[in-house]
Chains A and B, each alone.
Chain A
């Protein structure tokens, strides 16, 4: 009788990478952080109708406990430096969703003297969510895309794509 047959039926065998990724993607805590009108949609996404928490994403009030940062709104040059500090304070592995036209490319305000046109000039971005502002459904889609990306990561194998990304 082989080992595999002696395991009860309720046990699933999988790869360690997949378990790690599955646990990680199922508790993406995002930082409670909004910059402009997109933050209103971000609040709606956390609300009862869109309910981001059913995907394991709960807001945290400090970068030290956050896995993900949602850049929701117009990023000014003044805020860009502070956003970089907040990003640096988050523990690895960390992810960034750029929400809305403003944080994607500066959007409506990209020609203004005070606006950083694109958050990707300051910190690396994993998922871009288009829209002005994106509806809660769009942000939920963004989170699902991020979870897809997280499931692709490989942590145990050296020189993997995950390390290249980090």
Chain B
């Protein structure tokens, strides 16, 4: 299926959840409402004509000026060998959206990573802890307005340049 056909199929089933579609992008994507991500993903996964059985990648992007965080899911179907990108926006103040861990098990760590680095809370996630940063780390480093702490457990994060 081409991305346009995939979008059309989605539009027929979950038309009210889709807010935008871009077919000319390098990775054609569908922008959906974050609240309905589980229903849309469940459909993408279960529908025999779509059969997106592989969550290739899941990541987040912080748009500081536009004031939202975008969660990006790269999907691939090994059955039909087609791909689509699903995007969903959440607010920067209270970033929260349902977890798709029940659809793709691989989302477990990917969502933990997004939570760790961007602070998006995935409701319904089985084990939402930090993945990469230390457990007691304060803040989410991939936020554009993140300020690096002066020290961590007495270890200074500043170092004088040796060239001065």
A residues at B contact (CB < 8 Å)? 77-78, 80-81, 105-106, 110, 113-114, 116-118, 121-122
Q: For the complex, is B25 an interface residue (Cβ under 8 Å from A)?
A: no
Given A77-B152, A81-B153, answer yes or no on A117-B132 (Cβ-Cβ < 8 Å). no
Which chain A residues border B134 with CB–CB below 8 Å? Answer: 77-78, 81
Beta-carbon contact of B141 and A117 below 8 Å: no
Secondary structure at the B interface, as helix, strand, loop or mixed, is: loop
Given contacts A77-B134, A78-B133, A81-B153, whether A113 and B159 have CB atoms under 8 Å apart is no
> What size tier do the contact residues of chain B reach?
10 to 19
Of all A-B residue pairs in the complex, the 8 with the closest CB atoms, nearest first, are: A78-B134, A113-B141, A117-B159, A77-B152, A113-B148, A121-B155, A116-B155, A80-B155
Most chain A CB within a 10 A radius of its CB, from B133, B146, B148, B159: B159
Q: Mark B61-77, 1 if CB is under 8 A from A, else 0.
A: 00000000000000000
A106 close to B159 (CB less than 8 A)? yes
Does B126 reach chain A (CB closer than 8 Å)?
Answer: no
The reply to whether B133 and A122 form a contact with Cβ atoms under 8 Å apart is no
- Cβ–Cβ contact A110 & B146, under 8 A: no
Choose among B141, B156, B162 the residue that contacts A114 (Cβ–Cβ < 8 A). B141
Quick check: A113 and B155 within 8 Å, CB to CB? Answer: no
Contact A110 B133 (CB under 8 A): no
Minimal beta-carbon separation of B20 from chain A (angstroms): 32
Report the separation of the CA atoms of residues A81 and B153 in the bound assembly, to the nearest whole angstrom: 8
From known contacts A77-B152, A78-B133, A81-B134, infer whether A117 and B162 are also in contact, taking CB-CB under 8 Å: no
Nearest Cβ on chain A to B4's Cβ, whole angstroms: 41
Which residue from chain B places its CB closest to the CB of A106 in the assembled complex?
Answer: B159
A81-B134, A113-B141, A114-B133 as given contacts; A121 in contact with B146, CB under 8 Å: no
Bound CA span A105–B159, Å: 8
Docked CA distance A108–B46 (Å): 45
- Interface contact A122-B155, CB-CB below 8 Å: yes
How near does chain B come to A124, taking the closest CB pair, in angstroms?
14
Nearest chain A CB to B149 CB, angstrom units = 9
Which B residues are in CB contact (< 8 Å) with A117? 157, 159
Question: In the complex, which residues of chain B have a beta carbon less than 8 angstroms from the beta carbon of A80?
Answer: 152-153, 155
Min C-beta distance of A83 to chain B, whole Å: 11
Nearest-Cβ distance from residue A121 to partner chain B, whole angstroms: 5
**Which residues of chain A are near B146, meaning CB under 8 Å?**
113
Q: How far is the CB of B21 from chain A (nearest CB, A)?
A: 35
How far is the CB of B75 from the nearest CB of chain A, in Å?
29
A1→B159 CA distance, assembly (Å) = 66
